[in-house]
Amino acid sequence: MNLSKNEFISLCKKSLRGKGHHWGVCEDLSNALLALAINRFPAQNILLEVLNTENSKIDQILTTIDSQVYKISDQIDGEFYDPILILGLISVDRDFNEPPLEISLENEIFILTNELIIGDCSYLKKKVNTISFSKNTSRKITKQKTVTRISIDDTTLKKIETWSNMTYAPATEESRQLGAGSDGSDND
């Protein structure tokens, strides 16, 4: 299925919430996943990985944007799970008119420029211990086009929806009676 960006954001947010992430965390992670998705990274698979990671480990990587460490440090050390997310988080956080930023997830190099995230889209390392930042990238930047639709296969979508369905209250007759419009005829 080809999802619009709005639908993809909504799917990410709901599934992450279903996993028990806090609302604000869901918002930032969803934006990060969308940034990756429009740059042709397999964001649906990254999302599935995130859904399989302990929540507190994911929360930690949000400090990279809250403290804007990528602006003030060359390198950070620690335990970073699903590190590809950091590219999306920083891509959304930084201003598009800033000069390109090179980010190394240990040995794998990515470049952020405007809304583009350039690098190996198949990167799926689960954990890294070092992340480096450089504003002096010498690498040649090949312009790529972002996509407007996010393609998700039915199997992956169903797996993700298992999580998002957890955010919906069960349908009961009592609840049905409390919905807007339950109290009147529409044949008037």
Partner 1 sequence: MPKIFDNNLSVGEVGRRPAEKIMRLSRLGSFHQSRLSFLRILLRRISTEKWKFKRQVFDIRDDCSGTAVYTYQLPNRAYSLVAFAHKISDVDRSDRVIATKWDATFTLFDGIPSKGDIERLSNNVPNQEAGRVTEKEITLSRANKSVRLWDYVVNCLSKGRQPDIHEIEKVGYMMRTTAVYGSGKFGAVDYNEISERSEFKAPFQAEMLTVYMIRAFVLDLLEHAAKVKNSTEWVQLEPKFREMLGVGNSTGLGMAPFLINHPQLLNNWISAKETALARIRSLKAPNPKCIDLFKNYMKRSNYLIESWHSEHELQIAKLNELRLDKALLDKYVEKFNFKTPYPFDSLYNWAEETLGEEAQELLVSLILEPFGELVDDLSDGMSDTKQFSSKIKGSMLIGEFLKKTEQHYAYALKINWKNSKNNELAWYISEEKLEPRLGNRFTENSIAFYEQPLQPGRDVARMHFDLSQWEQNKSIAEFLMKHPEHRHIIRRCQIVFNNPYAEIKDNTISSEVIPIDLLRAKLSFFGAFHFDPRSDRWVRINMFKGAPLPQSLNEENCDNWTYPKQKPK
Assess 188 for contact with partner 1 (CB under 8 A).
Answer: yes
Piece in contact with partner 1 (CB under 8 A), picked from 4-12, 73-81, 104-112, 133-141? 4-12
Contact 116, 80 (CB under 8 A): no
Smallest gap from residue 106 Cβ to partner 1 (A): 23
Smallest gap from residue 105 Cβ to partner 1 (A): 21
Gap between the Cα atoms of 32 and 64, Å rounded = 12
Sequence-ordered list of residues with C-beta below 8 angstroms from that of 58, at least 6 positions apart, any chain: 21, 25, 29, 50, 81, 82, 85
- DSSP, collapsed to helix, strand or coil, labels residue 77 as strand
What strands lie across the sheet with 101-105, from one edge to the other? 75-81, 127-134, 101-105, 108-113, 116-118
Within 167-186, which residues bind partner 1 (CB under 8 A)? Answer: 167-172, 174-176, 178-184, 186
Assess 30 for contact with partner 1 (CB under 8 A).
Answer: yes
Within 68-127, which residues bind partner 1 (CB under 8 A)? Answer: 68, 92-93
Assess 45 for contact with partner 1 (CB under 8 A).
Answer: no
Contact 111, 137 (CB under 8 A): yes
Whichever of 54 and 174 has its CB closer to partner 1, that residue is 174
Whichever of 93 and 102 has its CB closer to partner 1, that residue is 93
Closest CA to 96 of 60, 59, 146: 146
- Which residues make up the interface to partner 1 (CB under 8 A)? 1-7, 9, 22-25, 27-28, 30-31, 34, 59-60, 62-63, 65-68, 92-93, 148-149, 165, 167-172, 174-176, 178-184, 186-188
